[in-house]
Amino acid sequence: MINHIEKSYIDVLTNRERVSFLRVNDTKLGWQTRSIKDLVLIKGVRGYSWLQWADGSRQMMAYTIKYYVNKLPDSDFIRVHQNCIVNRNLIQKILITHRGPFVRLTNGDEIVISRRRWMVIKRDLLKQS
């Protein structure tokens, strides 16, 4: 039997608001709305996040990685490490080296995949292709 608190928690989890655009603050241009299709990766650093875009620009935002995990669609983004989310559509190759697994993105960046997430990521990416 589910009580009303558990039910409201389940409702919150199943009705998460997914976004197609993000509002970002550029120091020169001010607030902009950018499509998540152009978002390459997000790196978390001590409660802040660096957003890296396809055009090479980067922006720091005062949100945690967890905030973006809850906002971005699972079908387009995957968390490969405690501090990194990447765009699935921009993954070029998975590399397995003596140092562990990496993801190579279309822009040439190589991102380490954590050992804990490796099996889940491998399964998800193989299912996707």
How far apart CA 68 and CA 62 sit, in angstroms, is 11
**Which pLDDT score is estimated for 17?**
62
| pLDDT tens readout for residues 32-60 | 888 999 999 999 999 999 999 999 999 99
Give the Å distances, CA to CA, from 45 to 31, 32, 117: 22, 22, 19
pTM score, two decimals?
0.79
Region 4-128: CATH code: 2.40.50.1020
- Residue 50 neighbours by CB distance under 10 Å: 15
| pLDDT tens readout for residues 79-93 | 999 999 999 999 999
Please name the residues in contact with 7: beta carbons below 8 A apart, sequence gap of 6 or more.
none
User: Which residues pair with residue 93 across a beta bridge?
Assistant: 104
Domain extents for the chain? Answer: 4-128
**Which pLDDT score is estimated for 129?**
61
Question: Are 90 and 78 a contacting pair, CB within 8 Å?
Answer: no
